[in-house]
Amino acid sequence: MTPMMQREMQQANQLLGTDMPRLTDTPLSVLDLAPIRQGGTAADSFRESVDLAKLTERLGFTRYWLAEHHGIDGIASAATAVLIGHIAGATSRLRVGSGGVMLPNHPPLIVAEQFGTLEALYPGRIDLGLGRAPGADAATMAALRRDPYAGAEDFPERLTELQGFLGEPQPGQRVRAIPGQGTEVPLWLLGSSGYSAQLAAREGLPFAFAAQFAPRYLHEALRLYRENFRPSAMLKRPYAMVGLPVIAAESDARADYLASTTRQKFLNLIRGAPTRSLPPVETLDWTPVERTQVEQFLGAAVIGGPETVRHGLETFLERTGADELMLATDVFAEADRLASYAIVAEAWQA
């Protein structure tokens, strides 16, 4: 471990035991993919997720979401509801939820029972973000017994069924989610295109856009959501949260170096060879076409020292009008990830 990494680990450890002031202005939240680093284990990932959740709770972050992925080496959040319970049990104030559960992979009754159970254990702190992608490749989809055509065709019907299992029971309702019925766990729709944006608008639900990996359609999706929004019992006006990659460090140069970890992740994804989280490197061996493709994935990224990050987040807010930002920080070392969120919090309050 280098002297700089030792110093940052000491700073992170100090932060974990220190009360921090709450953030102001636009709510900030956390998206955690529970990354498994090269040489690490899923158990390491879960321990580090708890560390991050405890820190960001003290820093005043609003939500801590985990995403459902299957069969991807390097992501440990497949059993999303289980991990949500683990994080919620280690914290006391954060809203903990899914970003998201891939609804076509599961019977709505099971999802309602799982999140009804979480709501009973941690009342008023659970969010249920829903996506319609498989979160897996074709072979893994088959192992999940998932209909490859499910999602676009029957997602609205699945959503309605789930809402019925979480709402108050209706006269003559034969099947009920126990626990779950009547809990009204808050639902969010997630997406990276206009489909979920328009469905969220029609249903009067909050919408979260995944600009952390698909920023190109961000502005159009937000426009569709806001222009078509219909008030509901849950929400009177549109509420849009945007996920984006953020890597903060003590300097722009240091942050750019740390960001090589996430650049390697997308580069290997493009090459069809996904890997666990890799250590940062000074240079990447990529073609001009590959570099352009990676930069497209990271088109919404904010990477830099404290002033660069503050300016980047303010500019992003001005451009999008987002009601809330959900930050995804993909770096190799735990100390660097903890330090990044702490730097963001400090910069946001400056």
Question: pLDDT tens across 145-193, in order?
Answer: 666 665 557 899 999 999 999 999 999 899 999 999 999 999 999 999 9
Strands 187-191 and 126-131: parallel
Q: What is the pLDDT of residue 65?
A: 98
The Cα 63–Cα 339 span in angstroms is 18
* pLDDT number for residue 21: 40
pLDDT over 90 (residue 10): no
pTM for the full predicted model: 0.90
The pLDDT tens digits of the residues spanning 266-303 come to 999 999 988 899 999 999 999 999 999 999 999 999 99
Considering the chain, what is the average pLDDT of its residues? 90
Q: How far apart are CA 11 and CA 343, in angstroms?
A: 11
Question: Phi and psi for 18 in degrees, rounded to 5?
Answer: -125, 135
Q: Are 54 and 16 in contact (CB under 8 A)?
A: yes
Beta bridge partners of 129: 188
Whether 5 shows a pLDDT value over 70: the answer reads: no
SS3 content of the chain, % helix, strand, coil (to 5): 45, 15, 40
pLDDT single digits (tens) 191-230: 999 999 999 999 999 999 999 999 999 999 999 999 999 9
Stretch 86-104: mean pLDDT: 96
Helix ranges (H only) for 215-305 are 218-228, 252-258, 260-270, 288-297
pLDDT of residue 349: 81
Peptide bond before residue 100 is cis, with ω within 30 degrees of 0: yes
Q: How many CB atoms lie within 10 A of CB 10?
A: 11
Residue in the structure block whose two tokens are 């849950």: 234
pLDDT at residue 138 greater than cutoff 80: no
How is residue 246 written in tokens? Answer: 């953020």
Residue 97's nearest CA partner among 117, 125, 70, 69 is 125
With 0-12 / 13-18 / 19 or more C-beta atoms within 10 angstroms meaning exposed / middle / buried, residue 298 is: buried
Q: What is the pLDDT of residue 22?
A: 44
Write down the number of H helices and E strands in the chain: 13, 9
